[in-house]
Structure 1
Amino acid sequence: QLDVAFSLIAGGLPDGVEGIKVSEEEVVVAFAPGTAPATSRVAAGDLAGIPLAAPRSGSAIKVVADEFFAAAGESFNISLESGDPYLIRCLVSDGFSAAILPASLTRREGPPVDTRPLSPPVRLPVYLIWRRGRHRSPAAGAFVDFVRERAASP
């Protein structure tokens, strides 16, 4: 069991969970190198019919991807769902499909991918989270206090 964790959150913190918002994450579409559209951003209609890999159902990325396509009246052609976003990046790099991913995952060292932000832009808050009322170790408590102080600073 984890004392605290960083998590993307869609639609507010779940019941029984407390957290501190620490940043925001842009959601992007990752493409195999050389296959991204020439446009600087991609709309849901641009992705219609393109097979897309995505994090598993219920994840924050999948929730906002579903909302993004629904708001545009477009369908989401899912080629694969996985709980391992790095695996998704590897498959995209090899040409399996494009994918909806957090931008930070595509900037880390790893297999090459080309990215395009969504249009309209989609961003998710990043929280440090923990279970309400659960005992935290002294180290976890000190970390939460540190993050809380940093989050309160301009």
Structure 2
Amino acid sequence: MTVRRRQAARILLLDGQDRVLLFLGADPAEPGVTWWFTPGGGLEPGEDVRDAAARELVEETGLRGVELGPLVGYGTVSFSFRGQRYEQEQWFHLARTEATGLDHSGMGDAEHAELLAARWWTLEELRRTAETVYPAGLADFLERLLAQGPPVVPVRL
């Protein structure tokens, strides 16, 4: 099977109570398997990571005027979706918002079909959940971000 390589921008979006926004997703090729993940998506041709993060945030949440903070993390993940293998380089921006009402109408039909729910999670809820959350180690990473602020150099996740 051919592996499709792509680059993606992701957002660790925190609200005024330090809760992080995660989406519940599923792969139609694997019924019954779900996971929680951060907003974000693939870079379009000629787009840089920051511009992609800003675009994806508006498309997926409807939130406008959110000030993107610094790049705080990066990593490479391998996964399968709809029978296609991917290797994805991804970068995580930190962002904050006071608005928590979401509008998913900017998502494409395919994205909308795979998005099962959206939820603002506390650090404690992340630590207690038995559900799959990406990126792995998100609770520990968020705890460090909240206690120490953004790292000088983005951290490998």
User: Greater Rg, structure 1 or structure 2?
Assistant: 1
Higher relative contact order (CA 8 A, sep 6+): 1
Give the TM-score normalised by structure 2. 0.24
Greater fraction strand: 2
Normalized against structure 1, the TM-score is what?
0.25
